[in-house]
Amino acid sequence: MVVREPVRVAAGVSIDPSELQWRFSRSGGPGGQGVNTTDSRVELSFDIGVSAALTDAQRGRVLDALGGRLVGGVLTVTASERRSQLQNRRSAQDRLVALLAEALAPPPRARRPTKPSRGALRRRTEAKQRHSRTKQLRRRPSD
């Protein structure tokens, strides 16, 4: 399976297939008759530092978001859950796209700090007083 069309990550961001490096190896675990002969484990690598698919701003955002996962600016995703190499290729590509899309997403809006209303503060103190009275009633009477 040779991927010829660009891999769409987000609006305006598509990765050229020539920028993706595929590696295949034997997958561990159960696999039936072909377990020792088929290279079904897939490693998909994408070099973020030299990619033409990302602008400088996008590259910075991805490097900040995925900094802990990168080795020398290269993002690597592995897949070996399926017995079929084709299914593992699709799974690895889907994971790569999901990671990049999440990293490229704009940061959430900053929380606007609020303060409790006067009524909420009053209800809170009344509840505390009720709870205190209940606890006092449970004490032993003092002589």
Residue 51: predicted pLDDT: 85
Q: How confident is the model at residue 73 (pLDDT cuts 50, 70, 90)?
A: confident
Please, what CATH class does the domain formed by 7-104 belong to?
A: alpha beta
pLDDT at 142: 79
Rounded mean pLDDT, 127-133:
97
Write down the pLDDT at residue 55.
87
Give, in degrees to the nearest 5, the angle at Cα 125 between 122 and 129: 135
> What confidence category does residue 111 fall into, taking pLDDT thresholds of 50, 70 and 90?
very high
Per-residue pLDDT tens digits for 1-56? 555 788 888 778 888 888 899 998 887 766 666 666 677 889 999 998 888 888 88
What pLDDT score was predicted for residue 59? 87
pLDDT, residue 32, reads 63
**Closest to 44 measured CA to CA, from 89, 12, 108:** 89
